[in-house]
Amino acid sequence: MLFAAFLIILLLVSSLAAHSQNVPHYRFVNYTTANGLPNNHVYSVLVDGDRIWAGTDDGLAELDHGHWKIYTPADGLAQQAVLSLALDPRTGAVWAGTMGGLSRISAGRIDTYTQLNSGLSNNVVYGVAVQGDDVWAATAAGACRLNTRTGTWSLYNERNTPMREIWAYGVSAAPDKVYFAIWGSGLLEYTQKTHAWDIYTDPDGENEIVLLKDQGLIHDITSSVSYVDGVVWVSTYFGDSHYDGRYWHNFLTKDSGLPSNFTNYIKGVDRNRAWFCTDKGLAYYDGTNWAVYRPSLATGKPEMLVRDAAGRVTSIPVTTAPAHHYILGIDFQGNDIWVATAHGLSHGIYQP
């Protein structure tokens, strides 16, 4: 009898390992105002080598080898609420999109661009991306581009692009193209060589009923976009999409491991893998399996759920979780992840 019980336990453990072996495991260390953050609401996070930048509701926080440095408007930052971050890999400059303008932090100096002193289209900068000499900004009044070599600005809105609405929520740069997530106008693609714009919208129209799955963008209310390895990942408030230039594949809670269709931010790893920052947890997709990391919505205790290709969901015992289930951003540091949440910054330390 004891042997039979032991065999059952062994089989369960083996099954658990089989379900979770293809998804990463992490030990989460969380940072809040109690240990250095200027504010617990973290909109964005950026990995810069050994340094970590966190855009909060009360300034830009830099974590360097365990020590925090905070940048505020008193230091020259455009505004205290930092919505987006991007790194210029050539110069090491950090670009911060805020509720009051765009700031460049470089070698201890902060230069700020606003509607009053530059060609920035709007002071609310939801997204920023660097592409060579160009810095692209997604703002509340369309998109714009600053050429850092010449200092010239270019503005893009409903008058010179296909966008029907002008709320640009996200931007991602490819070597030869730039992609914008436009709230209410789907996904816009700009080709550098031809200066041409293309638009991708929901073939069902702007509604929450999916009639033609995998026939196009899942919804026109887009919230972010991530280009990697020839593939575009797009998040919306009603599901998520993957586009390889020819075929679309869409993800919904009813047929995937997404914990929620409401996605704030998406970041691709490669053509098949991506992270989804939702209002009900952080989700990872490896092309086959899903994993969700969060404090349980029911108990608040750390939770990890794994869903395999057959739709089987397994709860993996864990002792840590991201600081909050409302996830706003993510970046990678080797095998580790850094996560922006509504109540703190989380460091996911990879557990081999």
Q: What is the pLDDT of residues 322-337, one digit of tens each?
A: 999 999 999 999 999 9
H helix or E strand, kind and range, residue 173: strand 168-173
Quick one: which of 233, 201, 210, 236 has its CA closest to 222?
A: 236
Distance CA 188, CA 143 (A): 10
Q: How confident is the model at residue 142 (pLDDT cuts 50, 70, 90)?
A: very high
Beta bridge partners of 190: 178, 197
pLDDT, tens only, 223-235: 999 999 999 999 9
Q: Which residues contact 14 (CB under 8 A, 6 or more apart)?
A: none
Task: Provide Rg for the chain, Cα atoms.
Answer: 21
What pLDDT score does 14 carry? 39
Percent of the chain with pLDDT over 90: 89
H helix or E strand, kind and range, residue 186: strand 186-191
Pair 234, 217: CB distance under 8 Å:
yes
pLDDT, tens only, 39-97: 999 999 999 999 999 999 999 999 999 999 999 999 999 999 999 999 999 999 999 99
Residue 195 pLDDT > 50: yes
Look up the CATH number of the domain holding residue 99. Answer: 2.130.10.10
> How much is the average pLDDT of 291-309?
98
> How much is the average pLDDT of 237-264?
96
Residue 120 belongs to domain spanning? 2-350
**Mean of the per-residue pLDDT values of the chain:** 93
Residue 135 pLDDT > 50: yes
Please give the tally of structural domains in the chain: 1
Burial degree of 108 (CB within 10 A; 0-12, 13-18, 19+): exposed
Burial degree of 254 (CB within 10 A; 0-12, 13-18, 19+): exposed
Residue 174 pLDDT > 80: yes
Q: b/e string for 304-316 if b means 16 or more Cβ within 10 A?
A: bbbbbeeeeebeb
Residue 334 CB neighbours (<10 A): 7
| Lowest pLDDT segment from 1-15, 173-187, 197-211, 326-340 | 1-15
Token pair recorded at residue 276: 């989804």
Residue 16 pLDDT > 50: no
